[in-house]
Amino acid sequence: MSAEAGGIRSNLIQELFWTRTGLLLLILVVTSGASLAISSQMDSGAARNLLTAVGTGTLISAVVSFTQTLITSKAAQKALLAPVIEESRKALKELTQEYRALDREFFPSHVFEPTAKPDPVFNQLMMQDLERTRLYCFRGFAGRYAAGRVLLSQTECELRAVLADPRDDNAISGRARYLLRNEGADGDYDEIQERLKEQIGIGLVGLYAARSRCTRIDVTIVSDPPLDRLELFDDSAWLTLYSNTAGVLRPYPRTLRFTESSFLYAMERAEFLRISNSKAGYHFTITPATTRNDFIALFDKITGEALTQDGFKELEGKFHAFRREFSASAQLRS
């Protein structure tokens, strides 16, 4: 959008001829031309000299007046129009800055569309945010990706996770329905539920494997987790929209990234802290000092199933197989 003047009188010459001054200059030029033309047809004498003098004087007056008017009009244009243009530019600049501030507050900085495989650009940018953070908050389903990212990270952080309760079918139903829609008519709901329960067990073992990369891992198990996955860092929030069922469904849904200055970042952070501090959930902590036997006891309380040493090794093997596959497909350092 331009702040420059425009319209019918788009330049200074046109401006002159659209005023009474321009009409006066035209009369002078016509008078001068007529006088000189008539005098050139007359014989020598006083009348011819008079008309020649009138034509010459009128022409000189027209030239001087035109030059003076041109200079005066240009100065007036600078004095009157230039401040208006400058104020318009200033107003447009302030309006643009206001819109940019609104963009940072209410609109995502990055939008990643649904994909069938992990998006390398998506995962590399998220890993950069993880490398800079001191507190990593994860609200999701099983925690496999959170544990995998922590093991791939070069830095140490504190991890707080909110996961689904494997003993409550209602906590699993939201993710199960999403996967069922993705698999189509051939999908089996009961089979998907069993697979999801196993993923929670794999995720818990993954968090235990990642304990040495964190100062501490605080986990909250809830029976009604939000369907959308949240990954919160010091300077960004990533929201993966499992609740968005419009369009073509993919295993990796649409994801939005918001900066820490955005309204949604503050809102999601407050909601995460509310859930993770709620008395309704089951809370436990994993530290580098947590032993395998301690973890197996926790696993029994969370899942309601006894975990043997062989069962632990099996879940551990499945987690590392998942981590290697994920890091390879996302083109991350393994």
- For 113, the token pair is 């569309």
Q: What is the pLDDT of residue 204?
A: 96
Quote the tokens at residue 281. Answer: 């959930």
Q: What is the mean pLDDT of the chain?
A: 83
Query: Among residues of the chain, what percentage have pLDDT more than 70?
Result: 80
Bigger pLDDT: 218 vs 177: 218
Mean pLDDT of 213-232: 92
In the chain, where does DSSP find H-type helix? 12-17, 20-39, 46-106, 120-132, 144-152, 169-183, 189-209, 263-276, 292-303, 309-329
pLDDT above 70 (res 1): no
Lowest mean pLDDT among 22-26, 54-58, 76-80, 200-204: 76-80
Interval 103-130 mean pLDDT: 89
Among residues 129, 203, 213, 112, the alpha carbon closest in space to that of 162 is found at 203
71-84 residues labelled b (16+ CB within 10 A) or e (exposed): eebeeeeeeeeeee
Q: What is the mean pLDDT of residues 242-256?
A: 81
User: Which candidate, 238, 216, 240, 225, places its Cα nearest to that of 278?
Assistant: 225
Asked if residue 287 has pLDDT above 90, the reply is yes
Fold of 110-330: Endonuclease; Chain A (3.30.870)
Stated pTM of the model: 0.68
**What pLDDT shows up at residue 3?**
44
- Please state, in angstroms and rounded to a whole number, the distance separating the CA atoms of residues 14 and 28: 18
Q: Please report which confidence band the pLDDT of residue 179 belongs to, taking 50, 70 and 90 as the band edges.
A: confident
